[in-house]
Amino acid sequence: MLSRLLICTWCLLCSFRAFSQEAVVPVFGLKEYQQRVQQNNDTLYVVNMWATWCKPCVEELPYFDSLRTEWKDRPVHFIWVSHDAKSRTKQVADFLSKNNYTAEVFILSAGNPNVWIDQIEPKWSGSIPATILYKNGQKTGFHEGDFPDKKTLQDFIHAKQ
Domain ranges of the chain: 2-160
Q: Which CATH architecture has domain 2-160?
A: 3-Layer(aba) Sandwich (3.40)
- The reply to whether omega before 122 is within 30° of 0 (cis) is no
pLDDT > 70 in the chain, percent? 86
Supply angle C-alpha 74, 93, 68, rounded to 5. 15
Q: Which pLDDT belongs to residue 133?
A: 97
- Mean pLDDT along residues 116-145: 96
Q: Check: CB of residue 143 under 8 Å from CB of residue 130.
A: yes
Q: Check: CB of residue 153 under 8 Å from CB of residue 48.
A: no
Reported as a single tens digit per residue, the pLDDT across 12-60 is 444 444 434 456 899 999 999 999 999 999 999 999 999 999 999 999 9
